[in-house]
Structure formats: structure tokens, C-alpha cells
Chain A
């Protein structure tokens, strides 16, 4: 099996919504089964109703930033022939939730996109995948072939297997026939997206929830989870080698999610929340956290694309941060000065801190650089690196001191650096 296979284990806390119908790790919910489990696709009826129901549901985007989908629909320019884009490029190396959705319950994602496209009278739905995951592309193709009489045409676009290619404006540029490079904002995709048309681009999971909201309504959606971010959420729990995708209501303690995946915070050296552009937390800290986006960000943490990565006890989070930031620096789209020049310096500084004795000056310099690049680029990529690096430097003053004295002996590389995401050539 490929490392990115959809056939990783799944688990559910509470009643399954997105993962309903899956029992064994090899299950795929085909169209007949999908309609048996969820019933036929309903329609929002009108754009106004779509907006109202989504706003009432409180559904927030599952692609990282947590922006409410209802507000995105409300800001969609009212011109003809808008486009719906399902962002299923899942560039986060440790994330498997979108691969599980597309590979195993693809009809839910397609239904959600079609329900939105139908309500806004869109000319097409584009499912944006990347060529590094051919088995997912195959699964979506097979799912589309099973369907009959869809209200809006659906096509697949395979972007390049690069991290930044999953950024919204990069995806739109590629789908429009250009390169998969971010463009400056404004314009926002909701104003000028695919080939200049108003575009609703959201993460695959966001559309999957929409498929259930159109069937069961906003009150049903809100019946589980926290008020500020209702519903269930998919999380990839991983130690860097094995991955388990868990569906749980927001508000669930992180420890329950990890336990359901067969893991525990106690054995972890540190925990990376939210992916490679996420934040480090201590296992002790995690023991009291819940799946609550607002509460997490109030404590300086990020859930990002829904990832809990447990660092094995014989690995070191500073070394991991050095390797990850080096990889992230190589993923720059090469367009913006602070990103092109700053990220490699940050990565080199982190490598020094992780691998040889340094003075506190070295850490202060990396911190200053992380502050400087944050928010300065055409896309949010530099901010992701800042977040990761600052959280690593702040995690444990004792362990940082250990490194400064050259005393850390952990040398194992635990989290993978994806090979198919080759560094971009400039």
C-alpha cells in the first residue's frame, strides 16, 4: 500500500456522520450504499436559502482557517456562471482526512459541492486533487462514473504535488490554465476566481458536511459540538508512521481522540497540533485541551487541518522543527522576498540550534526572523513557518538550554519529509 493510501484505519467518537457506512479499513461507500446510508441528495432551492441555512448551521471551513462557509457564500459576487472548487489537494504531509473522504466516502464530497453549485447556479464543479496521489484520483474518477443525472457537471483537475499548490489562489490559478502559484489578494476568489468568475473554493471536508446539512438541516448539524464551531470534525492522529482518521464532535477532549486512535499523550515527547504549519504543545498541555478552535487559538495553538501528531519519545521536537522548516522553506513558490530569503535563513538557524551548541543569540535571531516574515507574502505560507518555529522555541526553555549546551542525544528523525513534494526549482 502506498503511504498515502485512503485505507488507513478510521474511528468515530459519538455517532458517525461523515464516516457513516464504513466498518472495515478497506470499505468504500459506493453510490448505492451512499444513498442507503444518507438518502438521496436534497436541494437548497435558492441561493438565499443556501446562505441562510449555512449561516444558521455555523459550519466553518475545515481547510485550516475556520472561515464560516455561509459568510463565504454571502460575499460571493452576484455575476453569472460562478464556479465551485473542492480543494482536495491535502498538502499537509501527515494529514489523511481528505484522502479518506475522497477515497472512501467520495459521494458525500461530490454531493456537497453539487448542492452548493446547484443553489448558486454554477456552471461547473472542479475537484482539485494533486498528482502525487494517483489512487485518490482513481477513486474519485470511479465515483463520478457511478453517478447519473447530476445537476451540475463535475470534473477533476490534477494539480502539481507541491505544498503551496493547495493554497486557494494557487489552485485557482492552476485551474484557470496558469501555474499553481499564489496570486495577490484582493481580488478574493469569491469575486474573481476560476477564469475571472466568482468562485466558491472550500476544503473537501467542508463540502462533505454541507452534503449532510442540505439533507438534515442546520439544527441537526448544530446538535453536536461547541456553539462557536458546531458539528463533527475529522482528525488525523499519527506518530509519523501510522495514521488513524477519527471523526469526533468539536469540544471532545483531545485525549479521548488520541485514545480512540490507540495512542496516548503520556508516551509522546511532544505533540504537533495542526500539521507542519502548526504548533507544538507539551503532552501535559494536551491532556487538558479540547477540540475547540477558538479556545485553542486563545492559547496560541492551532488545530489547522485537524491533525494531532505524537512525537515518539526517542525523537526531539527541535530537530523535527529544523527538518520540517527546511522542507517548508524549499516549498516556497519563489515569488515574495521575505519568503524566498527569510525561510531558508530561519531553517538554517533552526538546524544550528538543533544540531550544535549555540548561544541564546541564535534563538533570538531565529525568533526575530520568524516575526519579520509573518504575514509578509502573497500567501500565508511564511506565517505557517513562523508559527511552527516560534512554538518550538517557546515549548521548553530547559530543553532549548540542553541544546545550547550540546546535550540533546535524541537523533531519530520521526516525522516524514515527503519525497514526492520535490523542492521547487527556481
Chain B
């Protein structure tokens, strides 16, 4: 198992302000209605931006969570 950072949206809280996508454009883009689409795993050099996006969200709808993903035996 290797820890990986994922952005998770709480859809019931998210109001589509879109601030997150401005702060972390590498990890978050907006859909056709202005709601965030997050990339599966946050790359290491994007962690700072992702954390800033979470902190700036006016609805506290965005969090960074550490998930354990199985490492494939090939790697």
C-alpha cells in the first residue's frame, strides 16, 4: 500500500463558487455548470495548491484525504 492524496468534494455542501478551480487549476476543472471536476490523485507538486483550494472553499466542501492505494506488483 502506498499513500496517495485525493481531493474529495462534499456534493451536498458544494455551491459551485469555482474558487477551487482558480487556485488549483492542475487538479480541478469546472464542468459545464460550474461545479468542480477533480483529478483522481493529486500530484506531489500540486499538493500546496490543492490544500489552498480546500482552505479557500467558502462552503468547506473540499478536503484532501490520504488514501491507501494498492501498489501493483509490476512496479
Contact = CB atoms under 8 A, between A and B. Distances in A.
B11 A335 contact: yes
B15 to A, nearest CB: 7
Contact of B9 (A369, A372, A376): A376
A378 B11 contact: yes
Q: Which one of A338, A339, A342 has the highest number of Cβ atoms from chain B below 10 Å of its Cβ?
A: A338
A341 interface: yes
Nearest to B34: A337
Interface string B2-17: 0000000111101110
A342 B33 contact: yes
Contacts of A341: 33, 35
A99 B46 CA distance: 51
Contact of B37 (A183, A336, A376): A376
A342 B12 contact: no
A78 interface: no
B31 interface: yes
Contacts of B15: 337
Contact of B12 (A335, A345, A369, A373): A335
A106 B37 CA distance: 45
B32 interface: yes
Interface of B: 9-12, 14-16, 31-35, 37
Interface of A: 183-184, 335-339, 341-342, 345, 368-369, 372-373, 376-378
22 contacts: A183-B12, A184-B10, A184-B11, A335-B12, A336-B12, A336-B14, A337-B16, A337-B34, A338-B31, A338-B33, A338-B35, A339-B11, A341-B33, A342-B32, A342-B33, A345-B33, A372-B31, A376-B11, A376-B31, A376-B37, A378-B11, A378-B12
